[in-house]
């Protein structure tokens, strides 16, 4: 049962790296987790050009068989149990792999959004993309725990 995560940029702050690694380790008990970090566009570029370059890189990195779950503030908010049910269904499909995608600090292009099988929001607020990575990994661990009947999640 594979799960893929596609992220633009590296985690720069040690506390984000530590938190992300904590959930990567825990999630690894349930799923074969593949993390792909794409290089972010040069900081000297204007925001729209950064978004375009990073968007092209994301689209190139997505496999046609990936179930693209694009994290975007315009996406659908899912309760943890709904995410768990979706994750269970997605990982049971032997021909496809759920791929959770977080862009850079300037967000996604329309082309990336169009590639989405699901636009997923972690809430209505805008979050720093590094924090989103930690929040996503925690939610994936929570979903896997729900699917295994572990007492991590409390309704």
Report the SS3 class of residue 99: strand
Helix %, strand %, coil % of the chain (to 5): 45, 25, 30
3-state secondary structure at position 121: strand
Q: Which two tokens stand for residue 106?
A: 């300037």
pLDDT exceeds 90 at position 155: no
DSSP tag of 95? T
The Cα–Cα gap between 154 and 58 comes to 35
CA 22 distance to own-chain centroid: 16
Does position 126 have pLDDT exceeding 90, yes or no? no
Q: Which of 55, 64, 67 is nearest to 5 (CA)?
A: 67
Tell me the C-alpha distance between 23 and 50, whole Å.
29
User: For the CA atoms of 31, 32, 38, 40, what is the dihedral angle to 10 degrees?
Assistant: 30
**pTM, to two decimals:** 0.95
CA 123 – CA 63 distance, rounded (Å): 27
Average pLDDT on 93-104 reads: 96
**For 7-56, what is each residue's pLDDT tens digit?**
999 999 999 999 999 999 999 999 999 999 999 999 999 999 999 999 99
Given the candidates 2.40.50.140, 3.40.190.10, 3.40.50.300, 3.40.1280.10, the CATH classification of the domain at 2-148 is: 3.40.1280.10
Domains of the chain: which residue ranges? 2-148
Cβ distance 89 to 118 under 8 Å?
Answer: no
pLDDT higher than threshold 90 for residue 129: no
Residues 6+ apart with CB under 8 A from 117: 67, 68, 69
Residue 83 CA to residue 81 CA, distance in Å, equals 5
């Amino acid at each position: 049962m594979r799960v893929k995560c596609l992220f633009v940029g590296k985690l720069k702050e040690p506390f984000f790296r530590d938190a992300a690694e904590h959930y990567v380790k825990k999630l690894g008990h349930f799923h074969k987790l593949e993390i792909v970090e794409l290089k972010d566009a040069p900081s000297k570029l204007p925001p729209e050009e950064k978004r375009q370059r990073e968007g092209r890189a994301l689209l190139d990195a997505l496999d046609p068989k990936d179930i693209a779950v694009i994290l975007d503030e315009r996406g659908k908010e899912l309760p943890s149990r709904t995410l768990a049910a979706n994750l269970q269904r997605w990982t049971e499909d032997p021909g496809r792999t759920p791929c959770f995608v977080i862009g850079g600090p300037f967000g996604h292009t329309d082309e990336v959004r169009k590639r989405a099988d699901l636009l997923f929001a972690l809430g209505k607020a805008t979050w720093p993309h590094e924090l989103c990575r930690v929040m996503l990994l925690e939610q994936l661990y929570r979903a896997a725990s729900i699917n295994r009947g572990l007492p991590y999640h409390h309704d």
